[in-house]
Structure 1
């Protein structure tokens, strides 16, 4: 079934039209409006109309939307940073513009759904999609379907506090997080987290890209920083396993592009595992940047049944 997906981010709103085989046919990106709710809803409506014009289905084209943050299952309200619609029922407001209500889901859940269906997690019973980019979050699927969530969230693992046995021996600061807490995993294993570790160890401001590039070129100091990041990230993998025990963890986000990232994480993960627990398969995403919109599109087709 031809379908559409809209991936809503803090900087861009991406619309994709997908074929019957869920491959991208057309893509259109527009900047995310920053100034007001009306402009934001108008931009979403514009993307919906663009998708409808590409298909014979028109107004009947299945379209799903994905965005970061929480979507309250009872009120429909979204709670998210960097978007002008936080605290509002985006689905209802958009339906007033376009004449129908579109299904809406968390972007990490959309990523996991995409990769569990024709992606890197295909064939596994339970799949966690772990995104490590600007932020850190995850989604969970079982038998290729997303799980019901009380608060409409994904796995908010980026805001789990790092254990003392990870920070204390390394003498790393307990960095403040944007969520209001301190010592969240997101501040250490995201792209900004990798840069923070690098800046702390190297004594100067560095970006994550510099660390990865220099480490790949053999710079010892940068290799050490990357190895330390992997050790901390492996503790997050262990927490995922202890909490959900998935068959497969699929890595997404910018840091999933680190050369040899699976091997980099597997070694400390083996050392950190609990007893003789079998480790889940770790893979990198197949659909990459398209997974948010693709997962939303899959949800939209299922929403019809």
Structure 2
């Protein structure tokens, strides 16, 4: 019998990335094509189907070997139906993505939130390989997240589980409004956007910091300044780490994961960030809940989405 293969599709606002995986989560081949959001929903859907076929045609495999196609997409979904309620980045709404792809491709189709899919990728074939219980954070423009329990994505009643960036964790007196409209969300302080905002606020206040000399402050600039001894930058990074660590302490006694996996651009700060997160985590969680628990960096990088999407067929 021919080897089964699994197609994973990561749908972004600019690019659709496709990966071909084996049953162990090894990435065999990748393919990228334009999303073409400017051409409308039908064009995007047909591109997803076309690129899924293209990757198989360009490899040494046959379409008959494809056991299923998984898709990760940003937005509000009805995961059980594979239905996209609304995706702001793609200008898609009220779309039966699963049904369309089943008709076009004639394969098992599974659709999930892009953050959940990236988390599954890390848990299945990345930093969490061999670990059944993981919570994954992605620190980028916002704070994305995904929860993996018993090797499967936790989706929740309304497909809203794992929205870690919107844990209301910052006290009211310090809170600012998040892009979601609520106050005090984790991503207002622990995302790249939050770190940049705090740095710009410090410069505007006239705080003595080397960041005042940086024309277009990025999160990396703040981390680099903190590592170089800039006290203002160090306080900003410490604040981001504090709320990440505290959120993990909360989740540790609710979900009791073995691994917390952190990816995204901010995670490249390395031990300078991770050690502070670990210190806060250990301070606020229960002794039994932290026993054997590790806080580790993600390893798959930009491939987590396609690997996790392929993994939906086996583990979704």
Task: Answer whether TM exceeds 0.5 for this pair.
Answer: yes
1:40 to 30, 35, 44: 44
Q: 1:100-179, aligned counterparts within 5 Å?
A: 100=107, 102-164=109-171, 168=173, 172=174, 174-179=175-180
Which deviations, in whole Å up to 9, do the C-alpha atoms of 1:178-233 show, x marking residues without a partner?
22223221222111011112222232663212112222333333222211221122
Shift, 1:130, TM fit: 1.5
Q: Distance in 2 between matches of 1:301 and 1:124?
A: 16
Q: 1:59-98, aligned counterparts within 5 Å?
A: 60-61=65-66, 62-73=68-79, 75-78=81-84, 79-98=86-105
Q: Decide whether the 8 Å contact of 1:69 with 1:153 is kept in 2.
A: no
Distance 1:242 1:199, change over 3 A: farther
Q: Decide whether the 8 Å contact of 2:11 with 2:17 is kept in 1.
A: yes
- TM-score (structure 1 length as normaliser): 0.86
Aligned residue in 2 for 1:249: 260
Aligned residue in 2 for 1:297: 310
Q: 1:152-231, aligned counterparts within 5 Å?
A: 152-164=159-171, 168=173, 172=174, 174-203=175-204, 206-231=217-242
Q: Distance in 1 between matches of 2:81 and 2:312?
A: 19
Distance 1:81 1:154, change over 3 A: farther
Q: Distance in 1 between matches of 2:23 and 2:102?
A: 26
Q: Decide whether the 8 Å contact of 1:108 with 1:154 is kept in 2.
A: no
Shift, 1:121, TM fit: 1.8
Number of residue pairs aligned between Structure 1 and Structure 2: 296
Q: Distance in 2 between matches of 1:300 and 1:242?
A: 30
Q: Decide whether the 8 Å contact of 1:211 with 1:222 is kept in 2.
A: yes
Q: Decide whether the 8 Å contact of 1:137 with 1:154 is kept in 2.
A: no
Where 1:103 maps in the other structure, the secondary structure is: strand
Structure 1 regions of 5+ residues with no counterpart?
none
Distance 1:10 1:284, change over 3 A: same
Shift, 1:80, TM fit: 2.9
Q: Distance in 2 between matches of 1:37 and 1:226?
A: 40
Q: Decide whether the 8 Å contact of 1:70 with 1:151 is kept in 2.
A: no
Deviates further, 39-48 or 27-36: 27-36
Distance 1:10 1:52, change over 3 A: same
Shift, 1:66, TM fit: 1.0
